[in-house]
Amino acid sequence: MKAGQSTDPLAHPCRHCRRGVGEGCWNYLGKGKAPCSDRGRFRIRAFLCREVEEAQAFAAEGGQALHLHTIIMDREKAPRCFVAAVDRGEFIAHFFDQNVRRLYATAAGFGVRVLCVERRGEPGQHIDLCGEPLKRALRACENAGEVPARPGLREQPSLFDAEGE
């Protein structure tokens, strides 16, 4: 290892596109098993509220699916940040991936601090996202421009057009 080089695998840039975490590349495991999206073999795609089955099917085919929704089954047990986001009229999300190691690594790259895989080993295996990690995940989606800024507002510009990205 070179002097000053980080030992954190999430900090290493992709050897294909030379971008690092937070710069659009999610091949930070450095093992070549998840080539960056620029090469068209590793994809993250957003799905809206009623597209949960499509999102799970996309993940089953080897992609990563971000299922945006506003449903909280039990507000008393849900983390406050999720309840607050829905109360503000914002999306929350399930981040589906059938590769557990890649799921953990990608979610950590988005800035998720509490990595808890729900429904582990099932087709609905996911990590829940909201707030800034969700915004980072949306920026990584190949169809980010198609995602409305808020639930139910398809005529609104994309979340990222509003931020100038």
pLDDT digits 0-9 by tens, 63-95: 999 999 999 989 999 999 999 999 999 999 999
pLDDT at 137: 92
Residue among 58, 44, 49, 71 nearest 154 (CA)? 49
pLDDT at 152: 56
pLDDT at 67: 95
* CA 140 to chain centroid: 7
Distance CA 109, CA 7 (A): 15
3-14 residue pLDDT tens: 554 444 444 445
What is the identity of the amino acid at 28? Y
Q: Which residues of 140-158 are buried (b: 16+ CB within 10 A; e: fewer)?
A: bbeebeebbbebeeeeeeb
Q: Where do the structural domains in the chain lie, given as residue ranges?
A: 1-42, 43-150
Q: Taking all residues of the chain, what is their mean pLDDT, rounded to a whole number?
A: 75
Residue among 139, 160, 142 nearest 21 (CA)? 139
pLDDT at 42: 56
pLDDT at 92: 95
Query: Dihedrals φ, ψ of 19, to 5°?
Result: -100, 155
118-145 residue pLDDT tens: 999 998 999 999 999 999 999 888 887 7
28 pLDDT higher than 80: no
pLDDT at 151: 73
Arithmetic mean of pLDDT, 15-43: 45
Distance CA 17, CA 25 (A): 8
Higher pLDDT, 151 or 136: 136
Name the DSSP class of 38.
Answer: G
Name the DSSP class of 93.
Answer: E
Per-residue pLDDT band for 156 (boundaries 50, 70, 90) equals very low
pLDDT at 3: 52
Distance CA 110, CA 134 (A): 7
